[in-house]
Chains A and B, each alone.
Chain A
Amino acid sequence: MSLTRRTLLASSAAALAAPALAQTQGKVVVIGGGFGGASAARFLHKMGFDVTLIEPNAQYISCPFSNAVIAGLRDLSQQTFTYAALERQGIRLVRQMASKIDNSVRRVTLADGVMISYDRLVLAPGIDLNFEALPGYDEAASNLMPHAWKAGAQTLLLRQQLEAMSDGGTVIISAPANPFRCPPGPYERASLIAWYLKNHKPKSKLLILDAKDAFSKQSLFTAAWKEIYGDRVEWIGLSGGGKVTEVKAKEKIFITEFGEHKADVGNVIPPQRAGKIAISAGVADQTGWCPIDPVTFEAKLAPNIHVIGDACVGGGMPKSAFSANAQAKACAQAVAALLRGDAPTEPKLVNTCYSLVKPDYGISVAGVYAPARGLLADVQGAGGVSAANASASVRAAEAQYAEGWYKTITQEVFG
């Protein structure tokens, strides 16, 4: 940066607002230690910023591949990561819940009342399950009909219920309307549970009740279900009466507009919204999600607060771990530029998401995104799903690549 530009900036509001002389050029607070937040913390710290990561949990339990845990193909320990590498890197880790954001004075208040100030805040709170959206489904109900949409105890509960179910039972999964975390997730889950049933409880069935008529990788999943699982898997979409309007948790009954379905194991994937702190900070709109600037990820509803990962909306990027990690890097780059008084450059983003239909059968969706008309829009001509007529060896290769992706991304995020 030239001296002239530096001098010029010193008188600008941006420079005045940043109480510089911290570690290097600014103090960044990150809320949330998932794929988005932990990535943002690491990349911003690498660029020389003073970074504090606020995350109440000592361990992170990852959702990608947790469907394999449910199906008994994987141990939860393979999903579990610590923040040791982040601390070793020099990131200040605060093991608390952020309870309040006062953006007018750029300050986060923690659950114990301690306050932490920031020049820029990166908010990566992930999702909250909306326990007010589906009558009969609240937190207590989730102990009877697990959601397993945040990995951990819920994942194991669903697995235990499947293991305890008698052969000949019915498993029902209800899937929400868009948008929600991991668009292909309910269908990968259905696939791997069907795999478990086929191998351990062959007289059992699986029913998916869906609040929409189309879903991610639909043609691939549908074809694979028919080929591998036959009549064992049934999907009912919105127009067929698949939208669940109420559940009775004790009886494991799903009520739809067209009737009732009784399950032996019921998995309710409820509607979702941005994590609570985003709602209380006022960066979420009436949809419950946080609109963002596609270049900087700065919240459209609040300056200096950047929102990444599942909590943000603004274009075609799905709510996935890959997206959150890619957004974290683009956001870190923009935050660095802004704190240094430079103009942020337009990013290009990528999403890749693998799903397993069975252990050696993987399918994928990919997309490339660029800012356009205020959104992160799909780059035309790019992206899409795996080929419809691929050979078994291609499906097996994609299942292997899924494993490779998981190793690489978790190493980048958690060390």
Chain B
Amino acid sequence: MALLFCLCGPALADPLDVSQSPPGASACLGCHGATETELPSLKNLSAVEIEAGMDAFRTGAREATLMNRIAKGFTPEETRAIAQWLATQGRAK
């Protein structure tokens, strides 16, 4: 168990390779990280769910404290690319 913890600890804290990340994607990680905090990790959401959530924040169909202000800065195409990249990095399903 202790060994498992040791092996997992540094891996969890390791940064992602952002060299192929689409515009804006790496900024998401500033709030939505590898682990749950008061803010959700995106790991339990699928790329489709992230995209739908962002679309709803953008249009105002879904209320938010802050994400509506950020979602409006991205086109649907940019949002899709971000969601898909997060999934390829294991930060979304």
Contact = CB atoms under 8 A, between A and B. Distances in A.
Interface of A: 39, 42-43, 46-47, 85, 88-89, 322, 325-326, 329-330, 332-333, 336-337, 345-350, 352, 364, 366-368, 370, 379, 381-384, 386, 390, 394, 397-398, 400-401, 403-405, 407-409, 411-412, 415
B65 A408 contact: no
On chain B, which size bracket covers the interface? 20 to 34
A336 B30 CA distance: 20
Q: Is the interface of B mostly helix, strand, loop or mixed?
A: loop
B14 interface: yes
Interface in B1-42: 10, 13-19, 21, 23-24, 26-35, 37-39
Contacts of B17: 46-47
A404 B30 contact: no
A46 B23 CA distance: 19
A330 B31 contact: no
Contact of B15 (A42, A367, A400): A42
A335 to B, nearest CB: 10
B21 A333 contact: yes
A349 B34 contact: no
Interface of B: 10, 13-19, 21, 23-24, 26-35, 37-39, 65-66, 69-74, 78
Nearest to B67: A366
A85 B72 contact: no
B5 to A, nearest CB: 15
B26 A326 contact: yes
A345 B66 contact: no
A383 B66 CA distance: 9
A349 B24 contact: yes
Nearest to A335: B19
